[in-house]
Amino acid sequence: MAEEQSEKVRLHRFLAQCGIASRRKAEELIAQGKVSVNGEIVIEQGVKVGPGDRVEFDGNPIRPPDLRLYLYNKPLGVVTTMEDDRNRPSVGDQVPESASGVKPVGRLDMNTEGLIFLTNDGDLAHRLTHPRFGIEKEYVAVVAGIPTEKTLARLRRGVVIDGEKTAPAHWEFIGPVKSENQARLRIILHEGRNRQIRKMAEMVGHPVISLRRVRIGNFRVKGMEQGEMRLIGKKDHEKLRASVGLS
């Protein structure tokens, strides 16, 4: 009985998982009497449903989709959206029909390449992008000039961008780029603010020339072709959920 109870979720969250509406909008739909559970209209919030319950919206049965997690090696020039109103190549262009309902987890800017997750697992997506759960994201950057150890130490401690100090991070000098006054750096972040690495590097006088995300948690870009999208197996999906406290 306890195990069955633990599988239950609040009705508005269930509706969101099924793609009916956002959680907030789902609460409105419940209050409007558009949702029934086991044949009974539900208008109060806080009701929980589980695998054995029959949920209907506007008289039509709804079921949660199979949770899917994809790893995508994003090329340069692709925007991290499902569609683009300026007709630029987007991540959504690469999503197979069988993966309908998935969305990018966070984003990489158009001029950054490398790994990004796509999923319809909303709880996982939220925790992967929340700094409290500390998912490591590793990058290799090429920057203009050769930063000193003092400069790297400053970046490791954190700098103020957009009015807020960045969290401590790993900044490591890998080596110079041959025949150029440039350096290759390894960077590991636990947060993911907008264009964070580019802004930090610019602030200390070493603007980014190229940037690639090579790892998210235990998932690495090694062995993946540029533009490849790979379905993560159920076992690894569950391990990732467990790593951020989801059962």
What's the CATH code of the domain at 119?
Answer: 3.30.70.580
Q: Specify whether 126 is located in the same domain as 224.
A: yes
Asked if residue 205 and residue 140 are part of one domain, the reply reads: yes
The pLDDT value recorded for residue 139 is 99
d(CA 42, CA 28): 12
How does residue 80 score in pLDDT terms, banded at 50, 70 and 90?
very high
In this structure, the answer to whether residues 204 and 161 fall within a common structural domain is yes
How many Cβ atoms sit within 10 Å of the Cβ of residue 75?
14
**Residue 181 sits in the same domain as residue 231:** no
Say whether both 142 and 170 belong to one domain.
Answer: yes
Instruction: Count up the domains in the chain and report the number.
Output: 3
Q: Are residues 89 and 200 in the same domain?
A: no
**49 & 87 share domain:** no
- Looking at the fold, whether 143 and 189 belong to one and the same domain comes out as yes
Q: How confident is the model at residue 134 (pLDDT cuts 50, 70, 90)?
A: confident
The answer, as to whether pTM is greater than 0.75, is: yes
Give the residue numbers marked as catalytic: 109
Per-residue model confidence as pLDDT tens digits over 12-58: 888 887 878 878 899 999 999 999 999 999 999 989 998 788 999 99
Statement to judge: residues 114 and 229 lie in one domain: yes
Residues 84 and 97 placed together within one structural domain of the fold: yes
221-231 pLDDT per residue, tens: 999 999 999 99
> Range of 111's domain?
69-131+219-243
Which tokens sit at 235? 């076992």
| Structural tokens at position 229 | 């999208």
Same domain, 197 and 232: no
Number of residues assigned to the chain: 247
CATH number at residue 42: 3.10.290.10
Backbone angles phi, psi at 9, to 5 degrees: -130, 160
Is a pLDDT exceeding 70 seen at residue 4?
Answer: no
Tell me: do 104 and 146 sit in the same domain: no
- In 3D space, the residue among 24, 100, 14 whose CA is nearest the CA of residue 57 turns out to be 14
Domain final residue, candidates 61, 77, 106: 61
Contact 244, 135 (CB under 8 A): yes
CATH code of the domain in which 191 resides: 3.30.70.1560
Q: Provide the sign of the torsion angle of the four alpha carbons 131, 202, 214, 68, taken in this order.
A: positive
